Amino acid sequence: PVVVVFKEFGTPQKRKSSALGSGFIIEEKGIVVTNNHVIQGAEDIVVRVGGDKEYKAKIIGADPLSDIAVLQIVSKENFKPVKFGNSDKARIGDWVIAIGNPFGLGGTVTAGIISARNRSIGLSRYEDYIQTDASINQGNSGGPLFDMNGDVIGINTAILGQSGSIGIGFSIPSNSAKKVINQLIEFGETKRGWLGVRIQVVTQEIADAEKLDKPRGALVASVAENSPSKNAGIKDGDIILEFNGTMIKEMKELPKIVAQTEVGKIVEVKVWRNKKEIIKKIKLGRLETSEDFKEEKEEVKPDIQEIKSLKITVRKLTKKDIEIRKIPNQTKGLVIMSIAKDSPINYLNVNDIIVEAQKNRIKSSSDLEKIVEEALKSNQKTILFAIYNNQNQKRY
């Protein structure tokens, strides 16, 4: 294993400090893979190879979104690299070996099995972790997870349990990592595909309302202006069922598939709209240079009519709200001012903007009251809302 040590990160006035992590060499000329969080903010990086020899290293490229960094050892020596395996072939129950530098003790080998695949734990934007019960602790970050052929099938990234290993560790699969690593080596940065849509989970209620056979795909909550999706005619409320020939079973699958598709590629996207499937051809943009990438979090001060059936108070959306919150110019709707604890929509928040109910645009409180009355008279008693939340993102 390659043990990555770095010094002096944090604020300049504090004394120099160091942190420990792990990594592995993938090319003879000394290219090292580790986690981004291992080297983030480092002023000096020292790589210790074979437990005794130390070398300086410089960063070739780092990607916070996938938590991967690539380093170059500053040396003319040749090093012995490891090989990547095919992580897609890794099965639950397969034996694996983790090598790293737990607690700074030096090269340490632990063994276990693959406990689960496709895990998502909310650490980074693109998550598809291999879960293992091999003992992984602080200092193991960035180290390799080997299969029984001695090939790297994962990069050990995260642990559960602050006091140490509890048999739940997470590794970035090598097949996902390789794409990022190759881009960092070639360009010094990543180039991810970009659709330009905000998406959310298709619930059973949304599937029922849209007459979709079962909850699947990704619901388009909003489409970014001047984005590939906007130019191709994707609309709010569409459900993306298939991307470039790949079925989207769950919403979380779509961002990973899009990001791994090359920038500029023309892809076919199958969407569910008005109870039927349609195909759209989209030329992908680049995520890292898109406006959509810079998430805007504008806060707005509120300004009243009561809707008794929903137990909320609302006011009309103003031009100033639209300007401050940077939502589309023609938006009409109602800003929520207060919500009772026993409101049937108490999962919403003050300052959320109701823009649609049952796919009808809401311009006044009377529009909303009529739709609520109709829903109460019907058997279904379910209303599909479209709102802008406090982060000014459209949600259904």
Active site residues: 37, 67, 141
> CA-to-CA distance for 50 and 357, rounded, in angstroms?
64
Query: Is 131:169 a contact under the CB 8 Å cutoff?
Result: yes
Contact 388, 354 (CB under 8 A): no
Distances (CA, A) of 379 to 311, 357, 359, 374, 375: 21, 17, 18, 10, 8
Residue 174, classed as helix, strand or coil, is helix
The residues, any chain, with a CB within 8 Å of residue 35's CB and separated by 6 or more, are: 21, 67, 68, 69, 141, 142, 155, 157
**SS3 at position 170:** strand
List 175's β-bridge partners, or say none: none
Cβ partners under 8 Å of residue 97, min gap 6: 109, 110, 111, 134, 145, 146, 148
Beta strands in 67-151 (DSSP E): 68-73, 95-100, 108-119, 129-132, 144-146
Consecutive H or E run containing 291 = none
Exposed/middle/buried for residue 194 (C-beta within 10 Å: 0-12, 13-18, 19+):
buried
What is the Cα–Cα distance from 225 to 198, expressed in whole angstroms? 12
Give me the DSSP letters along 130-169.
EEE-S---TT-TT-EEE-TTS-EEEEEEEES-TTS--S-E
Residue with tokens 């849509």: 197
